[in-house]
Amino acid sequence: MTSKTKPFDMDAYVTRITTGPCFICQIVAGNPAYPHHIIYQDEQAIVFLNAYPPLIGYTLVAPRQHREQVTGDFTQAEYLQLQAVIYRVAEAVRRVVPAERVYILSLGSQQGNSHVHWHIAPLPPGVPFHRQQLAALQVEDGILDLSEADMSALAAQIRAAL
């Protein structure tokens, strides 16, 4: 897989997520206008590759049902069930993609990307400290230039590692 990057249009992205429908609900519904490489899904969760990855193996985990609060919209049992999926996916990603550390975080906003989801982002070994943590997740300088074949193969590898 390539480590080359391509430009990312942040303005178009912000417009899409703040004015368009919920992208996760559209993926769950199977809307072909929202293609993603789905790795796993069950009655509660859906897992797919980030369509705009700054890191190879960057994966998202979300509840299938539209929920907006990271903890407040779940019972403790529902939350822990999702966390078990996140753990399994993070371990599968770690087995497929070399990682110095696997970052797991929930991002989003009531103003855009309000459907709660968790980011599983594997930091490659050897990244200088000043390019780690939040700097490693930035897309303003570009995203990985991965082909559809690369993304499909990566999704299949992570799926097999689950």
Query: Which stretches of 13-153 are assigned E, i.e. beta strand?
Result: 38-41, 45-49, 59-63, 101-106, 118-123, 143-144
Q: What DSSP state is assigned to residue 29?
A: T
Q: How far apart are the first and last CA of the chain?
A: 21
Q: pTM for the full model?
A: 0.95
3-state secondary structure of 122: strand
Contact (CB, 8 A) for 63 and 44:
yes
For 15-69, what is each residue's pLDDT tens digit?
A: 999 999 999 999 999 999 999 999 999 999 999 999 999 999 999 999 999 999 9
Domains recognised in the chain with CATH numbers: 24-161 (3.30.428.10)
Q: What pLDDT, on a 0 to 100 scale, did the predictor assign at position 2?
A: 53
pLDDT band at 6 (very low <50, low <70, confident <90, very high): very high
Contact (CB, 8 A) for 154 and 48:
no
